[in-house]
Amino acid sequence: MFGVHRAAGSDMLTYILAATVCCGWSTVSHNPHFRLWAEGVPATKGVQDFAELGVTVELMKAAKEARKKRSVGAMYRTAGIPNGIGHSSTELLMQPQNSLLSLVVKVIPSPDWFVGVDSVNLCQGDQWKEELTFDLQPFDAGTDSGFTFSSPNFPTSPVEKVTKITSQLPNHPANSFYYPRLKELPPIASIRVTRQSRSPGRQAPMSNHILPNVISQRISETPLDCEVSPWSSWGLCLGPCSRGGVRHRTRYILLRPANAGTPCPELEEQAECVPHSCMK
């Protein structure tokens, strides 16, 4: 689970945010004059730094400037789950003038991927909502062109717009989320926002711990196609001049297939050639 915290008052409401995640995250409460992130627009420097490096300095700086204009109510950040899948939780206190909730959750490791919610209104009319639940899909911040979780740094220039990653976008077999036979990707995080009663003097609970894998029960049925590396360079052409030579090249398995996914192709290939010693 995860959540955040803010000063209380008679016109404020406490929420618990519950989520299944594996990564660090940052949250703000705000009004319509502030936007932490948005699909279809370029990421800010703060979102870029957070999505790529997990650094919140620029993200918090922008939120602090907006708070001076009363566009942001509060800012929160937590460390990620150490490993596996777990819950992180705390309390979030909202004010009517800043009833929107936005958060970003860094996907670790990744080039510049994150999950999150954008400007969710916890108010409906003059009433606070009792509970909201979100299954989160990954987004690409548009600042790094890496295709896989462990891709080396490959800055995107110029920076592109924030886009949702789907089972078919980016449309490239090297993409870690590329499963064209799936209609949609299973969620990689879920968030539950629940209204809570709170005593003014009560200490806000916080937790950050690994839990049994809940979401993975749904993910475990997802077909995983075999992924292989690019071909190596061709080896030396070997063989007698009378019969001609043979050269080989190889590739290796990056991801073994599972759940009736596409099996692995051949890992070795050979081709006829003329040995260098036979050339005149």
The CATH superfamily of 13-195 is F-spondin domain (2.60.40.2130)
> What gap in Å lies between CA 43 and CA 187, rounded to an integer?
22
Tokens 């292989």, located at residue: 228
pLDDT of residue 79: 62
Query: What b/e sequence results for 158-169 when a residue is b if at least 16 CB atoms lie within 10 Å of its CB, and e otherwise?
Result: ebeebeebbbbe
DSSP structural state of residue 99: -
* Per-residue pLDDT band at 85 (split at 50, 70, 90): low
Whole-prediction pTM value?
Answer: 0.68
* Per-residue pLDDT band at 10 (split at 50, 70, 90): very low
**Helix locations, the chain, DSSP H:** 45-53, 57-68, 216-219
CATH class of 227-278: mainly beta
* Per-residue pLDDT band at 76 (split at 50, 70, 90): confident
Indicate whether 251 pLDDT > 90: yes
Domain boundaries, the chain: 13-195, 227-278
Percent of the chain topping pLDDT 70: 77
Tokens of 211: 């839990």
* Per-residue pLDDT band at 21 (split at 50, 70, 90): very low
pLDDT tens-digit profile of 104-131?
888 888 899 998 899 999 888 888 888 8
> What gap in Å lies between CA 237 and CA 199, rounded to an integer?
79
